[in-house]
Structure 1
Amino acid sequence: MEFNVVVTLWFVNTAEPAEVLQREPKADRGFGRKLLSQVNPAWPITPIGSFPLNRSSVPGRDEFYIAGFPGISVVRMLDSVTELSSPTSWHTALPAADVFVIAQGTDSDFGGFAHFHGDKVVRSFCATRTQVIEDIGLPEPFEAPYWAGEKAEQAGGIALPFEPKDLALAAEQAWVGTEIGADGPDINVVGYAVDGRPEPKIEEKTPAVKSVGDVAAKFAERDKAYDDYEVASEKEEGDEFAELADASVAAAKRVGRGLRRRAAEWTAAFKERIRHFDR
């Protein structure tokens, strides 16, 4: 039986992956595009956005979330699996001393994790709450409280003393060295689609120019609440003076348009008076 799962692969070539991730480096768009083209040259690759992996939604069937950092890279996708010990084209997509695979069911309680050192499976465990599907290698220290029933309410019968999804997340945190969640560092990735969709267009909005009175009122409000021990940042002051300059230019243009209009009206009236002067 196959399970629909979210699969996250970590390609690690550093002894301290957590130090890299905690710096929250930016993701390179070109890295993911090149990786996908190597995995399948026939794919039409479309970038669909940049965002933190640890606070993102589940990718679609034809979507991949990818990032490459110094010493560690990550790929997240949807897949259908039964077990995780059999290498796929993804396991060798990037050269890595260690590859960690984390899987969580999207429509089931399936959870699994696997550790490859080179081409050798060091540990692989896949299960639902009531069925162990794969159990290769020795349990690691982070697993102990789960097997002891300390991390979940006991269901009784043949049910495991833990939720497999929870154990999979514990494996990820132990192997990568930091929490991969909302409370952890932002892991910036780029999303890609391979179904031929066009790249999303982002409309750039032109900020409205404020009036001189609006900006002056902003200055007055800030000065009214001024604290002798408070120093406004250079950016705040720069932004306010920039707004004042924009407002002044806009006001000058409005005045110029008004003068030109009144001059044209006066000229037309003067010509009309001359035309009828002989009467």
Structure 2
Amino acid sequence: MLWFVDSDDPVTDIRRGLNNDPHQAQHLVQQLVGDGVVVDEGPCSLADADGLPDDNVIAGVYGRLAVICGRAVATDRPSEFTDTRLRLRPTAVAVLLHTDPVDSFGAFARWENGALRRSFAADPVDIREDEGLPYPFERGFWAGEHPLQYAEGVPHDPQALPFHPQEFAEQSTRDWLGFRFTRPLGPDDADPRDIPATRFAIRPPGWQPPPEPERQTEPVSAATEPARHPEVRPEPGQPEAPAGNRVARWFGFAPKSESHES
């Protein structure tokens, strides 16, 4: 997830509510994919970024704020993030968040006027990147105020970090943007489900939508035409169960039961 920030107070702007411009969002995605074909899949929320297929992108443009979510902006080494992506929308601040609950991985970064100010990436036992000066919100994590919780029966690793990297990374967006994905949310957190966006499918250059199949009807004679009755529609089937949420279970970071959200 990559945010472009020109607001003096993005936390307040997001908490008050945002209005997405889907046309500008599509333009932003088109810049990202170049000659690829961008197919509008309709409105969604930022929470739908969880489990997003590799050929899908979620984007939103909100005046002085914008966001892109998807594989194209995911990285486990933020300092190597290409300038091309940051130049998609030149802004005073750019904020990156990338987490992988399966590996208990978390990464975040912040650029100001195109210059990297802070980047961090780690799983519970391996720091892959730690560049720039720490921000104030980090102090409590390094001081052991958010200890890594081990699942029952899992021995403590003496080389493990004193915090969960995913929780640490999400605290960056909580501090800089006023929300996080993992529940339960705090009383002052904005809910990602309330942040509107648009979902796009990315297709190869030159892709064309398949033609709709033609409907063929056979004429019915008056003698054989059945009596006309009001159309009775079948009862709709049960809705599909929502896709299972990827939840951090390694070392017991996330609650054991929580609602589906991101």
1:81 matched to 2:75? yes
Aligned to 1:118: 113
Q: Distance in 2 between matches of 1:73 and 1:112?
A: 20
Q: Distance in 2 between matches of 1:139 and 1:48?
A: 39
Alignment of 1:161-200 (within 5 A): 161-176=162-177, 178-181=178-181, 183=185, 184-185=190-191, 186-195=194-203
Mark the runs of 5 or more structure 1 residues left unpaired by the alignment: 1-7, 202-207, 209-279
1:84 and 1:114 in contact (8 A); partners too: yes
Report SS of the residue matched to 1:103.
Answer: strand
Alignment of 1:147-226 (within 5 A): 147-153=142-148, 155-176=156-177, 178-181=178-181, 183=185, 184-185=190-191, 186-195=194-203
Aligned to 2:36: 43
Report SS of the residue matched to 2:85.
Answer: coil
Q: Distance in 1 between matches of 2:165 and 2:148?
A: 13
Q: 1:165 to 1:21 in 2, by over 3 A?
A: same
Greater share of helix residues, 1 or 2? 1
Aligned to 1:90: 85
2:100 aligned to 93, 102, 105, which one? 105
Mark the runs of 5 or more structure 2 residues left unpaired by the alignment: 150-155, 213-229, 231-262
State how many pairs are aligned: 193
Q: Distance in 1 between matches of 2:59 and 2:124?
A: 30
TM-score by length of 1: 0.63
Alignment of 1:54-73 (within 5 A): 54=47, 57-73=50-66
After superposition, the C-alpha distances for 1:37-67 in whole angstroms (9 at most, x for unaligned) are 2223311111112122136532210111101
After superposition, the C-alpha distances for 1:57-79 in whole angstroms (9 at most, x for unaligned) are 32210111101112111111125
Aligned residue type for 2:38: I
Report SS of the residue matched to 2:104.
Answer: coil
Report SS of the residue matched to 1:162.
Answer: coil
Q: 1:128 to 1:56 in 2, by over 3 A?
A: closer
Aligned to 1:215: none
Q: Distance in 2 between matches of 1:106 and 1:194?
A: 25
After superposition, the C-alpha distances for 1:95-128 in whole angstroms (9 at most, x for unaligned) are 1101010110253121111011122110001111
Aligned residue type for 2:201: A
Q: 1:174 to 1:131 in 2, by over 3 A?
A: same
Q: Distance in 2 between matches of 1:56 and 1:188?
A: 11
Aligned to 1:138: 133
Which one has more relative contact order, counting CA pairs under 8 Å at least 6 apart?
2
Q: 1:191 to 1:144 in 2, by over 3 A?
A: same
Aligned to 1:9: 2
Of all paired residues, the percent bearing the same amino acid is 25
1:46 and 1:198 in contact (8 A); partners too: no
Greater Cα offset, 76-85 or 29-38: 76-85
1:14 and 1:71 in contact (8 A); partners too: yes
Q: Distance in 1 between matches of 2:208 and 2:42?
A: 13
1:9 and 1:102 in contact (8 A); partners too: yes
2:122 aligned to 114, 127, 130, which one? 127
- Of structures 1 and 2, the larger Rg is shown by 1
2:59 and 2:198 in contact (8 A); partners too: yes
